[in-house]
Amino acid sequence: MTDLSALKYTEEHEWIATGPSTGSGTQTVSIGITDYAAEKLGDVVFVELPAVGAELTAGAVVGEIESTKSVGELYAPVAGTVVEINDAVVDDPSLVNAEPFEGGWLIKVSVADGATDDLLDRDAYVALTEG
């Protein structure tokens, strides 16, 4: 089980799990949408993700999630390069609902060390969703 307090969050309801520094000033982060977002979306039926190698700009739209209720955009919480996409989620989008913090991760991105420092911690995210 993922330690939710160890994750970073965005106001767009994405979570970011930071990995260890590579020693070259970069690290790989995993990105997904929160359980709150997955619940609000309803049953996810389609996920469009950026290609491996895509350069992301923080705040830019990088993909789409479609549910039985609506279509939502995915935003890049940080700038970096996509190094992996979760093919399992593309094949079975319901993983976003069933395991938002585990098997439902969306992409892995190589970012500069410290790129997630300005994102929300768990307490700030919970306050945002309860406010």
Query: How many Cβ atoms are within 10 Å of 91's Cβ, its own excluded?
Result: 9
pLDDT at 131 over 80: no
pLDDT of residue 21: 78
| pLDDT of residue 1 exceeding 70 | no
Domain limits, the chain: 4-115
Query: What is the value of pTM for the model shown?
Result: 0.94
Pick the CATH number of 4-115 from 2.40.50.100, 2.60.40.730, 3.60.150.10, 3.40.50.11540: 2.40.50.100
pLDDT tens per residue across span 66-76? 999 899 999 99
Averaged over 79-83, what is the pLDDT? Answer: 97
% pLDDT > 70, the chain = 99
Instruction: Note whether 77 and 57 are within 8 A (CB).
Output: no
Per-residue pLDDT tens over the stretch 8-55? 999 999 999 998 877 788 999 999 999 999 999 999 999 999 999 999
d(CA 81, CA 104): 20
Where does the pLDDT of residue 86 fall: very low under 50, low under 70, confident under 90, or very high at 90 and above? Answer: very high
H/E run at residue 44:
strand 44-48
Residues with Cβ within 8 Å of 84's Cβ and at least 6 positions away in sequence, in order, are 52, 107, 108
Q: Tell me the C-alpha distance between 8 and 10, whole Å.
A: 7
Q: Positive or negative CA dihedral for 87, 90, 91, 93?
A: positive
- Which pLDDT value is given to residue 24? 86
